[in-house]
């Protein structure tokens, strides 16, 4: 069987015994890069410093005094993480209730001992399915060379994510409305800063305001406006073909190690 692509997961539950149990089972069934936390405020800080592929949050997690604090924490992190990134688990909320309550994320009922390890197996499968739907939004001038976009796309795909650019998405709605939705649901954004294109800067600024990870790309740092020169920019010079490996390295660093400081 082909080796499964590694994915990073943050597990949040204020029951230490359950955290230890689920951590052991998830590592066993899926080979995940798993980080666990029982304190909601530490977990929120960790989720903001690193961009995990998936967040698994217990609905009853103690957070800011809310009865279902896990739901509120998931909502607080939604803009940063986008779609298909968070799953709520609970014994106190049923799937039927979740289906009519307009939850902003995925949901699974916690398993009982009588069901063996079926819950853990289903959860691992669900996490893989969610990660496979995640994408990177590319903010760039459409008139840039196809080689530049092709290299960016290769880097994103090799990092295990889909690549989306607004002009390649069929739609009949106003373009600005489509851009907002695509950026909002994206996992992160690659921003081509060449030539000061106002649309690309606008899209990147919107993503930055949502606390998303934005990866700037430029031909030269000298081409950047002074107020973004302090960002950790991927420079491709006269060889855009080098971008694929650099983008993959940067995305992997954000997902699995310390985040790239922007």
Torsion of CA 66, 107, 7, 148, to 10 degrees: -100
List the domain boundaries for the chain: 8-132, 135-256
Residue-level pLDDT at 1: 37
Distance CA 104, CA 9 (A): 19
Orientation of helix 243-256 relative to helix 146-158, angle to 10°: 30
Q: Could you tell me what percent of the chain has a pLDDT over 90?
A: 55
Nearest to 189 by CA among 201, 175, 177, 198: 201
pLDDT tens for 8-28 read 999 999 889 888 888 887 777
What is the average pLDDT value for the chain, to the nearest integer?
87
Confidence at residue 94, expressed as pLDDT on a 0 to 100 scale: 67
| pLDDT score, position 259 | 46
| pLDDT score, position 37 | 93
Q: Which CATH number fits domain 8-132: 3.40.50.1820, 3.30.70.2190, 3.40.50.2300, 3.30.1360.120?
A: 3.40.50.2300
Q: What are the tens digits of pLDDT across the range 59-83?
A: 999 999 988 899 999 999 999 999 9
Q: What distance in Å separates the CA atoms of residue 188 and residue 175, rounded to the nearest whole number?
A: 20
Would you give the end-to-end CA distance of the chain in angstroms? 38
Contact at 8 Å (CB) between 9 and 120?
no
What's the rounded mean pLDDT across residues 156-179? 89
Residue 236 has pLDDT above 80, yes or no: yes
**CA dist 193 → 26, 199, 214 (Å):** 40, 10, 11
Residue 241's nearest CA partner among 147, 110, 111, 115 is 147
pLDDT at position 71 is 92
Residue 100 has pLDDT above 70, yes or no: no
* Reported CATH class of domain 135-256: alpha beta
Q: Is the pLDDT of residue 262 over 50?
A: no
Q: Where are the alpha helices (DSSP H) in the chain?
A: 16-30, 40-49, 69-81, 95-100, 118-132, 146-158, 175-185, 198-209, 243-256
Q: Is 63 helix (H, G, I), strand (E, B) or coil?
A: strand
- Distance, in Å, from the CA atom of 256 to the CA atom of 51, rounded to the nearest integer, reads 8
Contact 191, 214 (CB under 8 A): yes
pLDDT tens figures, 173-221: 888 899 999 999 999 999 999 888 899 999 999 999 999 999 999 999 8
Query: One fold for both 8-132 and 135-256?
Result: yes
Predicted pLDDT at 153: 95
């Amino acid at each position: 069987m082909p080796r499964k692509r590694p994915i990073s997961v943050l597990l949040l539950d204020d029951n230490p015994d359950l955290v230890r149990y689920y951590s052991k089972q998830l590592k066993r069934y899926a080979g995940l890069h798993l980080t666990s936390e029982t304190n909601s405020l530490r977990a929120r800080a960790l989720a903001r410093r690193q961009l995990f592929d998936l967040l698994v949050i217990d609905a009853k997690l103690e957070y800011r005094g809310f009865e279902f604090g896990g739901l509120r924490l998931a909502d607080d992190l939604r803009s940063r993480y986008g779609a298909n990134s968070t799953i709520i688990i609970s014994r106190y909320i049923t799937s039927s209730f979740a289906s009519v309550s307009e939850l902003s994320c995925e949901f699974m009922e916690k398993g009982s001992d009588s069901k063996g390890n079926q819950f853990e197996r289903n959860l691992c499968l669900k996490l893989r399915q969610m990660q496979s739907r995640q994408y990177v939004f590319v903010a760039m001038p459409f008139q840039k060379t196809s080689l530049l976009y092709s290299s960016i796309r290769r880097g994103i795909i090799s990092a295990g994510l889909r690549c989306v650019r607004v002009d390649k998405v069929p739609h009949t709605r106003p373009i600005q409305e489509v851009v907002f939705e695509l950026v909002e649901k994206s996992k992160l954004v690659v921003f081509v800063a060449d030539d000061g294109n106002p649309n690309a800067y606008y899209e990147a600024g919107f993503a930055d305001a949502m606390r998303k990870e934005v990866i700037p790309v430029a031909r030269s740092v000298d081409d950047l406006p002074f107020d973004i020169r302090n960002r950790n920019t991927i420079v491709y010079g006269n060889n855009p073909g080098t971008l694929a490996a650099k983008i993959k390295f940067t995305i992997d660093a954000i997902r699995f190690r310390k985040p790239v400081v922007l």
